[in-house]
């Protein structure tokens, strides 16, 4: 039997998205002391509030043997209280991580013949999920000479009668750029008028100086808006897999119709409650990121003699152009890993190439080790170029 002939064409031709965070594979090959700068997670690690809730839930044992209640009033209330924006339980949906909700959104709203608009470079799951749902993707290529800033007018002018959805990552991964709120509102107004869905991924917005710029605060005004939120980045819950989305009651109702039952486990739900109550974790994380961002910028500038292009960022990671050293990102990642530092090679991002790497901002001790490795690799590269 030729199984390939039985597979949907969209799946048959799909290319799996490359992600950062390959820490376990890296440790298998390079030892347990590898530091992961490829995944953009709070340098404080897991939120203590989340950890306490997990610990107490395991200790009590009472609900571990039961199916989880995905409509738990306690969990929903924690989100409503966190935003205090007029949303209700009808505006909220949970997912086993953010990616599940990206897939679900595309499965529910996209089909063959639809077109979506995606500014790139950005998170690859929007393209992947759109394509396996049958939709075609139109791309707006952000330019390095413009610091990868998004032009809302260009997005508006790039829509067609077939455009069904626009995907935005705000702030954007891997460029770190936050869309100014007036610009976002301008796009939402246009999309509402043209009956185009707008998907806004806010996985990194908690790291910005103004999380109040969240599109969540516009949900009640735009029935075409869906906002994705993550617990992975700020609260260090990557291993538990929980995310949530906020949208109009109609969007949420149809997504729930197609969602997987019991998709978010009991401990993950408890962790969400503890995380959203942990204000100290957020404050301390943002203070650390702000200080370390300045430190890393300064040190990279010093060690590279301004030969590195380090892009300004609104969140907890840096995009770096290493091309002036005549080394590609694949080899640079390999050399850094040999020194115990795992970074993100950005050549897999549509709209980037092998000139770019991305590094997370971590604590001072870890950042020093990363900078030391960075310096050593640059010296090696300069020496090798000199020999040739």
Query: Is 250 a domain residue?
Result: yes
Side-chain half-sphere CA neighbours of 384 within 13 A: 11
> What CATH number should be reported for the domain holding residue 375?
3.90.1150.10
pTM, rounded to two decimals: 0.95
Same domain, 85 and 221: yes
Same domain, 186 and 159: yes
Q: What is the 3-state secondary structure (H, E, C) of 248-259?
A: CHHHHHHHHHCC
Query: Is 21 a domain residue?
Result: yes
Task: Locate 217 and state its tokens.
Answer: 């605060």
Of 9-13, 222-226, 338-342, the range with the lowest mean pLDDT is 9-13
Query: Is 121 a domain residue?
Result: yes
Residue 40 has pLDDT above 80, yes or no: yes
* pLDDT value for 258: 97
Domain that holds residue 286: 3-46+280-387
Strand partners, 119: 140
> What CATH number should be reported for the domain holding residue 140?
3.40.640.10
Domain stop point among 228, 261, 294: 261
* pLDDT value for 31: 83
Same domain, 188 and 253: yes
Rounded mean pLDDT, 180-207: 97
Same domain, 41 and 76: no
Query: Is 274 a domain residue?
Result: no
* pLDDT value for 306: 67
Same domain, 181 and 84: yes
Rounded mean pLDDT, 291-300: 96
For the segment 77-90, what is each residue's pLDDT rounded down to a tens digit?
Answer: 999 999 998 999 99
pLDDT band at 388 (very low <50, low <70, confident <90, very high): low
Give percent of the chain above pLDDT 70: 98
| 317 vs 201: CA distance, rounded Å | 16
Rounded mean pLDDT, 256-285: 96
Query: Is 58 a domain residue?
Result: no
Same domain, 358 and 225: no
| 374 vs 378: CA distance, rounded Å | 6
Radius of gyration of the chain (CA): 21
* pLDDT value for 20: 79
Residue 375 has pLDDT above 60, yes or no: yes
For the segment 224-236, what is each residue's pLDDT rounded down to a tens digit?
Answer: 999 999 999 999 9
For the segment 43-54, what is each residue's pLDDT rounded down to a tens digit?
Answer: 999 999 999 999
- Cα–Cα distance list, 151 to 156, 187, 247 (Å): 9, 10, 24
Same domain, 98 and 241: yes
Domain stop point among 217, 234, 261: 261
Report helix, strand or coil for 283: helix
Same domain, 130 and 229: yes
Task: Locate 298 and state its tokens.
Answer: 């300064």
Same domain, 234 and 129: yes
**C-beta separation of 119 from 173 below 8 A:** no
Total domains in the chain come to 2
Question: Is pLDDT larger for residue 65 or for residue 368?
Answer: 368
Residue 387 has pLDDT above 60, yes or no: no
- 85-108 exposure pattern, b = at least 16 Cβ within 10 A, e = fewer: eebeeebbbbbbbbbbbbbbbbbb
Q: What is the mean pLDDT of the chain?
A: 93
Nearest to 307, CA basis, from 374, 370, 360, 365:
374
Query: Is 8 a domain residue?
Result: yes
Residue 16 has pLDDT above 60, yes or no: yes
Task: Locate 116 and state its tokens.
Answer: 């979506």
Same domain, 156 and 257: yes
Rounded mean pLDDT, 246-253: 98
Residue 386 has pLDDT above 60, yes or no: no
Query: Is 269 a domain residue?
Result: no
* pLDDT value for 62: 73
For the segment 150-178, what is each residue's pLDDT rounded down to a tens digit?
Answer: 999 999 999 999 999 999 999 999 999 99
Same domain, 313 and 231: no
Strand order in the sheet with 136-141: 92-95, 243-247, 225-230, 197-201, 163-169, 115-120, 136-141
Query: Is 179 a domain residue?
Result: yes
Domain stop point among 261, 294, 327: 261
Angle at 95 between CA 207 and CA 214, to 5 degrees: 35
Rounded mean pLDDT, 295-313: 88
Same domain, 135 and 256: yes
**C-beta separation of 290 from 13 below 8 A:** no
Strand partners, 117: 138, 166
For the segment 306-321, what is each residue's pLDDT rounded down to a tens digit?
Answer: 678 999 999 999 999 9
Give percent of the chain above pLDDT 90: 81
């Amino acid at each position: 039997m030729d199984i390939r002939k039985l597979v949907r064409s969209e799946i048959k031709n799909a290319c799996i998205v490359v992600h950062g965070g390959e820490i376990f594979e890296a440790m298998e090959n390079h030892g347990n002391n590898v530091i992961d700068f490829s995944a953009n997670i709070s340098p404080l690690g897991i939120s203590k509030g989340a950890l306490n809730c997990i610990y107490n839930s395991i200790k009590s044992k009472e609900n571990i043997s039961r199916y989880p209640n995905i409509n738990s009033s306690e969990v929903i209330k924690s989100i409503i209280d966190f935003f205090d924006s007029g949303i209700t339980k009808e505006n909220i949906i949970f997912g086993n991580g953010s990616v599940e909700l990206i897939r679900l959104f595309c499965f529910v709203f996209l089909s063959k013949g639809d077109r979506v608009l995606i500014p790139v470079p950005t998170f690859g799951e929007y393209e992947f999920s759109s394509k396996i749902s049958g939709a075609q993707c139109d791309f707006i290529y952000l330019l390095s000479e413009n610091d990868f800033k998004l032009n809302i007018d260009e997005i508006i002018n790039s829509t067609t009668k077939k455009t069904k959805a626009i995907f935005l990552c705000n702030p954007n991964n891997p460029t770190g750029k936050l869309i100014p709120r007036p610009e976002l509102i301008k796009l939402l107004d246009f999309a509402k008028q043209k009956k185009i869905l707008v998907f806004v991924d806010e996985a990194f917005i908690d790291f910005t100086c103004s999380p109040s710029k969240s599109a969540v605060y516009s949900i009640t005004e735009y029935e075409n808006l869906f906002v994705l939120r993550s617990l992975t980045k700020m609260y260090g819950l990557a291993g538990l897999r929980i995310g949530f989305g906020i949208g109009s009651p109609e969007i949420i109702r149809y997504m729930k119709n197609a969602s997987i039952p019991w998709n978010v486990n009991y401990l993950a739900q408890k962790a969400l409650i503890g995380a959203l109550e942990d204000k100290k974790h957020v404050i301390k994380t943002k203070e650390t990121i702000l200080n370390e961002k300045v430190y890393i910028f300064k040190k990279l500038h010093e060690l590279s003699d301004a030969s590195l292009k380090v892009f300004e960022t609104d969140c907890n990671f840096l995009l770096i152009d290493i091309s002036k050293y005549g080394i590609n990102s694949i080899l640079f990642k390999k050399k850094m890993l040999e020194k115990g530092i795992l970074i993100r090679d950005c050549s897999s991002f549509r709209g980037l190439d092998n000139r770019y790497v991305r590094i997370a901002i971590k604590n001072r001790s870890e950042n020093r080790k990363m900078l030391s490795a960075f310096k050593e690799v640059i010296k090696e590269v300069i020496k090798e170029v000199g020999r040739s």
